[in-house]
Structure 1
Amino acid sequence: MKVLLLGPQGCGKGTIGQMLSEKIGVPLVSVGGLLRSLNPESSYYKTVKDQMEKGVLVDNQLVGMIIKQELDDPKYAKGYIFDGWARQMSDLNIFDPGFDFVVVFEMLRETSIKRISGRRLCEVDGKTYNVNTLPKEELAKCPGKLIQREDDTEEAVKKRLEIYYTKTMEVVNYFDKQGKTIHINAEPLPEAIFADLIKKLEK
């Protein structure tokens, strides 16, 4: 099974994607994760890093190449769940495996901004914390300093949202016409979102 996840920043695609991965037994491919884990010795490392820090989409030809290299791994033989691809129609000209389902997460822009701009990484254990939603006791569990990724600032988030509501919505409309989309309200807690998704997948 090949599933594509689409939705604005902060909608929980990664969390729900991991839950779905465990449920149906195929790997989750986080394109953002692939890009962030690039070897610094790679010839395109600097280009990718610079574009991500500016809050713009990384060159899709470059991302397509990285994705194709990743999918050569036999672990993807039974399918995969994609998070972070097909953000614009031109992406599908580079890589379109023929997705069985396209899950579209929907939420308010204000919620996206609040969730992402409040996100921090613990510099010691790498765990993610949200200063806007977690109590101080939880934030204190980080054994080091909480840092904000450059592409998580409010300004960078707004730029990425603008891209989503223009270019990515064209992709959503494209898959809507094919009858492949499942629209999900991403405002509730992850457990409720996942239950709604499974219910709709089983129809």
Structure 2
Amino acid sequence: MRIVLVGPPGAGKGTQAAYLAKNLSIPHISTGDLFRANISQGTPLGKKAKEYIDAGELVPDEVTIGMARDRMSQPDAGSGFLLDGFPRNVAQAEALDEALREDGAALDAVLDLEVPEDEVVKRIAGRRICRNDSAHVFHVTYNPPRTEGVCDVCGGELYQRADDSEETVRKRLEVYHTQTEPIVDYYRGQGLVVTISALGKVGDVTERAMSALGRDAAA
């Protein structure tokens, strides 16, 4: 299956992408991974991307599209893939459609993870990270530490990242609504969109998604 995964910040796209890709036996292709791989390998596209990133500028669509096309052409993506973070706007969606047409392929579904805006803010703004080890993550509501402000694992101080403040989260949501959400309408016009609720336990959301895609989740 060839799937695009969309949803607002805090919808759990990264987590669901990993589980869905495993269940469907297809590679999970994320924009972040594409950038890191191309930059670390020093590919021509990676060098271009690094120039823009180092200058504090957005990486142009054509560079991102080039990376995605190259990754989708790899042998492990021959029977399908799950795209996470790409396309990010309608121009990229149109370019993806064109690239697939040239290869005689097409998307099978666009999985839209739906989460109420207030829940997104609650999920992200409630995160607390350990200053000693960023892998130690807690949440004031869903996974609170035994002692407020103290990491259960190492005793380090817990803090809220600047990117996780409510003000920043709401700005990120504005960007999502303006730039990325229109691709849902674009793909809905093609009859590809499958919308599911991303509320609840991770496993329940995965089962919901697999059912919507007409597949059974692995036990």
Instruction: State the TM bucket, normalised to the shorter chain.
Output: 0.7 to 0.9
**Larger Cα-atom Rg:** 2
1:14 corresponds in structure 2 to 14
Q: For this pair of structures, how many residues does the alignment match? A: 198
Note if 1:200 corresponds to 2:212: yes
Offset at 1:199?
A: 1.8
Q: Closer, same or farther in 2 for the Cα pair 1:61/1:148, shift >3 Å?
A: farther
User: Is contact 1:119–1:148 with CA below 8 Å preserved after alignment?
Assistant: yes
Q: Once the two structures are superposed, what CA deviation does each residue of 1:55-111 show, in whole Å capped at 9, x if it has no partner? A: xx6432222122223334322121110110122111123323331110001111122
Length-normalised TM-score, structure 1? 0.79
Offset at 1:151?
A: 4.7
2:93 corresponds in structure 1 to 92
Aligned sequence identity (%): 30
Note if 1:103 corresponds to 2:108: no
What aligned pairs does 1:140-151 form with structure 2 within 5 A after superposition?
A: 140-141=152-153, 151=163
Where do 5+ consecutive residues of structure 1 fail to align? 52-56
1:181 corresponds in structure 2 to 193
Q: Once the two structures are superposed, what CA deviation does each residue of 1:10-67 show, in whole Å capped at 9, x if it has no partner? A: 101111111111111001111133335643975332523635xxxxx64322221222
Matched position secondary structure for 1:39: helix
RCO higher in 1 or 2 (8 Å CA, sep ≥ 6)?
A: 1
Note if 1:61 corresponds to 2:62: yes
Offset at 1:148?
A: 6.3
User: Is contact 1:18–1:28 with CA below 8 Å preserved after alignment?
Assistant: yes
2:31 corresponds in structure 1 to 31
Q: Closer, same or farther in 2 for the Cα pair 1:103/1:163, shift >3 Å?
A: same
1:54 corresponds in structure 2 to none
1:136 corresponds in structure 2 to 145
User: Is contact 1:19–1:194 with CA below 8 Å preserved after alignment?
Assistant: yes
Q: Once the two structures are superposed, what CA deviation does each residue of 1:125-183 show, in whole Å capped at 9, x if it has no partner? A: 66362433312159422687767666545444322211222332221112112211111
Offset at 1:190?
A: 1.2
State how far apart, in whole Å, the 2-side matches of 1:187 and 1:99 are: 25
Q: Closer, same or farther in 2 for the Cα pair 1:66/1:145, shift >3 Å?
A: farther
State how far apart, in whole Å, the 2-side matches of 1:149 and 1:39 are: 26
1:45 corresponds in structure 2 to 50
1:159 corresponds in structure 2 to 171
Where do 5+ consecutive residues of structure 2 fail to align? 101-105
